[in-house]
Structure 1
Amino acid sequence: MTEPLLAGIHHVKIPVTDLDRSIAFYSRVFGFTVEIEFPESDGVVRGVAGRVPGLGETLLALRINPAAAEGCAGFDPVSFAVKGRADVEAWAARLDALDIAHSPVIEASIGWLLVFSDPDGLQLHLYSWAAHGIDHSDRPGYGRAVRRGAEDGRTPSRPVPGP
């Protein structure tokens, strides 16, 4: 029997404390457009989902959940992909134009990385698919390849993206 395969990522759901503020932020930064709203039994909309240019069929969802938003502050559950260093630099310029604080361009484990936060403090990463070719595996917090033995039938994995 063949193992079933995944077909991509359906949606990324981000917890927020203020839905209108977060819709405005994700729209301004990423071009997010709301396509679906989720009203509760009291009729109040506490979540939305929609499209972001560049994410293909993957939806971005925002859901009011203050406890989860607080718990995720400072954490980076998702890294949005860009092609290369020039794209990371272009995003840095865009964030500058929007007056949004961000990290410098970082030589991360595999490629280049830019870090900034949404209104609830969730860290958002823009990470390049293009590799820089620099081995940071000896640095704390950076990824390194995991070598698997022939006995488990697996091939070596790729380094895990890190800072």
Structure 2
Amino acid sequence: MAFPGLQHVAITVSDLKRSTDWYATLFGADPVLDEDEEGGEFHHTVFALDGGLLFGLHTHRGKETGERFDEHRTGLDHVGFAVGSHAELEQWAAKLDELGISHGGVKRAHYGSGVSFRDPDNIALEFFTAPE
């Protein structure tokens, strides 16, 4: 049996409205879901991305620590979004510039190239393409 691919990613955010607005601008789309989880433990706002991946923003009813994201803690290091080519990667870098989102520019490595940036909670994000 083959191991399944990713179906969704969910991140906890400190300010759901701020993050929803930020990600809607980044994704160029509105959320497809915005509701309380039926058990009342959390509220989630979910975006449907190309390829079938769902990207969720969670708030845990004020139980969040309020700390900014730090990839040096055990847990998530970053979320990488696949792009098809180096040219598309350059286009995304330009799009981040248009949106006023700070990034580290295109970085090349033998295993691929990426553009790293951060969301309002400092969560590390990346556009990435395999070597051509």
TM-score interval, normalised by the smaller of the two chains? 0.7 to 0.9
- By how many angstroms is 1:110 displaced? 1.0
Any conservation in 1 of the 2:42–2:59 contact (CA below 8 Å)? no
Structure 1 residues 86 and 128, CA gap change in structure 2 (3 angstroms) = same
Gaps of 5+ in 2: none
- By how many angstroms is 1:21 displaced? 0.7
Deviations 1:88-146 (A, max 9, x none): 110111011111110011013411110000000001011003x15xxxxxxxxxxxxxx
- 1:125 counterpart residue number: 126
C-alpha RMSD over aligned residues = 2.5
- SS of the residue corresponding to residue 119 of structure 1 reads coil
The number of residues matched between the two structures is: 125
- By how many angstroms is 1:72 displaced? 3.2
- 2:115 counterpart residue number: 114
- 2:8 counterpart residue number: 11
- SS of the residue corresponding to residue 87 of structure 1 reads helix
Structure 1 residues 33-44: aligned runs within 5 Å: 33-39=30-36
TM-score relative to the length of structure 2: 0.80
* Percent of aligned positions that are identical: 33
- By how many angstroms is 1:39 displaced? 1.3
Gaps of 5+ in 1: 133-163
Any conservation in 1 of the 2:68–2:121 contact (CA below 8 Å)? no
- Alpha-carbon distance between aligned partners in 1 of 2:95 and 2:44, rounded to the nearest angstrom: 27
- By how many angstroms is 1:84 displaced? 1.4
- Alpha-carbon distance between aligned partners in 2 of 1:45 and 1:34, rounded to the nearest angstrom: 16
TM-score relative to the length of structure 1: 0.66
- 2:17 counterpart residue number: 20
- 1:64 counterpart residue number: 59
- SS of the residue corresponding to residue 122 of structure 2 reads coil
Which AA in structure 1 matches 2:59?
I
Structure 1 residues 41 and 80, CA gap change in structure 2 (3 angstroms) = closer
- Alpha-carbon distance between aligned partners in 2 of 1:8 and 1:96, rounded to the nearest angstrom: 31
Structure 1 residues 108 and 71, CA gap change in structure 2 (3 angstroms) = farther
Q: 21, 25, 28: which is aligned to 1:31?
A: 28
- Alpha-carbon distance between aligned partners in 1 of 2:112 and 2:40, rounded to the nearest angstrom: 45
